[in-house]
Amino acid sequence: MEIAERRDMLNFKDWYTTEEVDEALTIQQRVKLKQALRRNKAKIQLGRKRAMRKIASPEVLKNRSKKQARNVFLKKLLKNKDKSDLSYSARQSYEKILKRKSGAIERLAKKLLPKVRKKDREKIRSKSSSAGQSNAK
């Protein structure tokens, strides 16, 4: 692989954040994602640990609130069914419905944002207070 090609390629973190992870994947995409996740498992775990100690950026908070809003709408659509029990084609049909409701999802995400922000701040506060107590021993 040439240097120019390598430079143009997205690293895993950039690719992972640009893709809609909740959306239904094709079988090929599913296999590729499985391989990539397995290859980068240690890096992902380290990154997750680091991220847990920091206050989330506004972009990350927005994505979290959007995901929560999507899940609210999905729960309403699924009623008592679990998403993991659905077939891939059924998931794709629900994803199409959610795509049509993107405006409503955006509005709900905006309403959920303060709660998500507050939860993140509380998480950081509890982490720092528990760290302070363990250091005092």
Per residue in 64-122, pLDDT (tens digit) is 999 999 999 999 999 988 888 888 888 889 999 999 999 999 999 999 999 999 999 99
Which pLDDT value is given to residue 109?
Answer: 96
Given a cut of 60, whether residue 1 has pLDDT beyond it is no
Q: What is the pTM of this model?
A: 0.63
Candidates 19, 20, 51; CA nearest to 120 is 51
Domain boundaries along the sequence of the chain: 1-53, 56-137
Neighbouring C-beta atoms of residue 129, cutoff 10 Å: 10
pLDDT of residue 63: 94
Closest of 36, 41, 47 to residue 10, by C-alpha: 36
What are 18-73's pLDDT values in tens digits? 545 556 678 899 999 999 999 999 999 999 888 888 888 999 999 999 999 999 99
pLDDT at 88: 84
Question: What angle in degrees, to the nearest 10, is found between the helix axes of 102-136 and 58-78?
Answer: 120
